[in-house]
Structure 1
Amino acid sequence: MSSAAKSIQSTMRGELADFLRRRRADLAPAVVGLRSGERRRTPGLRRDEVARLANMSTNYYERLEQGRGPQPSAAILAGLATALRLDADERGYLYRLAGHAAPAVARPRGYVDPRLLSVMRAVSATSPAFVSDDLATIVAQNDLHVALFDRVTGLDGWAGNLFWNWFVSRRWRHRVLATPAQQADIGRAYVAYLRVAVAQREYDPAATALVAALRAGSAEFARMWDEHRVSASYSSAVTVLDERVGRLDFDYALTVSSQSRQRLHSLHAVPGTSTQERLARLGELARDSAIHVSTVPG
């Protein structure tokens, strides 16, 4: 390990130790069901109390507060976060100081990050867009995206997952105008991104279930997964052929929320093409279709 890396590691351990000490001092015994008592010599909890609540030895916890010992595991960090009653931001900070990816925050089914939803709606007149979780399961689409790719939000199983729609059902793939080699490049970019997402989730049940389903449903995915390529993003240019308005040339943008780890995927018309005019026409057709459906007697 280089001297610079050692210096960074030492700084991170020091910050972790200080963070634990201060959160321990801030936590009133009554909050965790302990009696305060008059004989306490320190504010907040004692080290042995935190260790007991976190299901670890007092000696191990003391070493963490002293900036010593091995890197704590994700299980140890989860115990500490619970014992110290950390909120979502503090929990993520704790994991990062210890050299781990912040765990995904549990959200109720159907949750959509309000910040990403606001942006998705703001661009709805000009850009097809959707919001997904970190495994690319779609939780919201704007009208232009639905007009291009159909509504998949809320579908059962993996039917609402981007990668499933590319590799297994292929319901979106046939709309992308690309050679077989270009489609293979898109697929590899998807798989490389999914590799990173699955590792960040530490191969939790949802991530491993998706990978298993994709491997079982697509020999192409299985082959690409075994290549073990990794990438933090898969944004790229893409061309879509729509039978109603013709060719649409897009730049692809991916925005990640630091709060929820959900993603906003948006398609933006390439300057100098007729895409924006054709999207406007597609929007009109979608609105006319919606009006027609709503006025048909039931």
Structure 2
Amino acid sequence: MNKDELGSFLRSRRERVRPEEAGMAAGGRRQTPGLRREEVALLAGISVDYYIRLEQGRGPQPSAQVLAALSRTLRLSGDEHDYLLRMGGQAPVRTCSAPEIPDNALRLLDRLEEFPAVIVNVCWDLLAWNRMLVALIGDPAARPPRERNTLRWLFGGAPALLSDHAGQARQAVADLRASGRYPDDPDVRQLVDELTATSPLFAELWAAQDIEVQRTVTKRAMHPVMGVMELDCDVLPLPGGDHRIVLYTAAPGTPSHRALQRLRALSDSRSASA
């Protein structure tokens, strides 16, 4: 259980719920936006003192039933609900050391010849990639291992490929927070501390405590040769660990799909001449 993070998360979500959304009267003078602590306690069926202690990081470990009631009261999303359970000590804390990438995942990566694909961990480190990803963003192997990280790219000078910097930044930070690894995972904690100290934008987004697992998003990319491409980015979990495979595709027949086909042809010709 992480008492401080639980308290901070409860407070941030309480302030986001409008009284009328929870069936409470919106009238009267309110010192803070959202619900009052007394209202949250009433709606969740717990004592006001107990809820205050939870927000202040002084309460005992809440039961799964209490966390479920708070989740309903605060109108949490599925990802936020899972995060609340982890912070409340009602979900197992995963180990810090990531397992090796399974051989079958690497074979899958090799078979994805038509579209760019990369395997990442919860920190968004690029661990393995195919030839099409190299054609799309350049070869990650040309960078030191520490710099093969999407978050460091976003908050330390994003590659020109990314045109929607603000959107990509928010989604990446919300996904990192949703992993539930902070602050118990030293690698995640080190990354958060580093970016908080060096990037005001990251510090702002991290403090917002948005929770959202990245699954499918559309990215507008500017390739130096192929021009503008709108790509569907699917983030698919790999079984047996926290690794995910990120696949960039485009609908058949679209200009972006034709650009990917030309990109593959260019990659094939360069590989053949190498």
SS at 1:248 equivalent: strand
Map 1:5-24 → 2, pairs under 5 A: none
Deviation at residue 281 of structure 1 after TM alignment: 1.5
For residues 110 and 95 of structure 2, the distance between their equivalents in structure 1, rounded to whole angstroms, comes to: 25
- Asked if 2 retains the 8 angstrom alpha-carbon contact of 1:249 and 1:270, the reply is no
Q: Does structure 1 residue 118 correspond to structure 2 residue 118?
A: no
- Asked if 2 retains the 8 angstrom alpha-carbon contact of 1:104 and 1:260, the reply is no
Report what 1:175 is aligned to. Answer: 161
CA 1:201–1:121 in 2, change beyond 3 Å: closer, same or farther? farther
CA 1:129–1:211 in 2, change beyond 3 Å: closer, same or farther? same
Report what 1:46 is aligned to. Answer: none
Q: Mark the runs of 5 or more structure 2 residues left unpaired by the alignment.
A: 1-40, 42-60, 64-85
If the length of structure 2 is used for normalisation, what is the TM-score?
A: 0.62
Map 1:1-298 → 2, pairs under 5 A: 99-104=90-95, 106-107=97-98, 111-124=100-113, 126-153=114-141, 155-156=143-144, 158-171=146-159, 174-176=160-162, 178=163, 182-197=164-179, 199-200=180-181, 202-233=183-214, 235-292=216-273, 294=274
Deviation at residue 153 of structure 1 after TM alignment: 4.4
For residues 163 and 211 of structure 1, the distance between their equivalents in structure 2, rounded to whole angstroms, comes to: 10
For residues 253 and 261 of structure 1, the distance between their equivalents in structure 2, rounded to whole angstroms, comes to: 16
Q: CA RMSD in A?
A: 3.0
Deviation at residue 203 of structure 1 after TM alignment: 2.6
SS at 2:236 equivalent: strand
- Asked if 2 retains the 8 angstrom alpha-carbon contact of 1:138 and 1:162, the reply is yes
CA 1:100–1:107 in 2, change beyond 3 Å: closer, same or farther? same
- Asked if 2 retains the 8 angstrom alpha-carbon contact of 1:236 and 1:253, the reply is yes
Deviation at residue 235 of structure 1 after TM alignment: 2.8
Deviation at residue 128 of structure 1 after TM alignment: 0.7
CA 1:101–1:214 in 2, change beyond 3 Å: closer, same or farther? same
- Asked if 1 retains the 8 angstrom alpha-carbon contact of 2:158 and 2:165, the reply is no
If the length of structure 1 is used for normalisation, what is the TM-score?
A: 0.57
SS at 2:147 equivalent: coil
State the one-letter code of the partner of 1:165.
W
For residues 251 and 239 of structure 1, the distance between their equivalents in structure 2, rounded to whole angstroms, comes to: 9
For residues 155 and 242 of structure 1, the distance between their equivalents in structure 2, rounded to whole angstroms, comes to: 19
Instruction: Give the paired residue count.
Output: 194
Q: Mark the runs of 5 or more structure 1 residues left unpaired by the alignment.
A: 2-69, 73-94
CA 1:250–1:211 in 2, change beyond 3 Å: closer, same or farther? same
For residues 244 and 114 of structure 1, the distance between their equivalents in structure 2, rounded to whole angstroms, comes to: 33
Residues 91-141 of structure 1 show CA distances to partners (whole Å, capped at 9, x for unaligned) of: xxxx9xx83235137357xx32333323322222x2111001121101101
Q: Which has the larger radius of gyration?
A: 1
| Paired-residue identity, % | 20
Report what 1:87 is aligned to. Answer: none
- Asked if 2 retains the 8 angstrom alpha-carbon contact of 1:113 and 1:260, the reply is no
Deviation at residue 253 of structure 1 after TM alignment: 0.5
Deviation at residue 285 of structure 1 after TM alignment: 1.5
For residues 208 and 133 of structure 1, the distance between their equivalents in structure 2, rounded to whole angstroms, comes to: 14
CA 1:283–1:272 in 2, change beyond 3 Å: closer, same or farther? closer
State the one-letter code of the partner of 2:255.
S
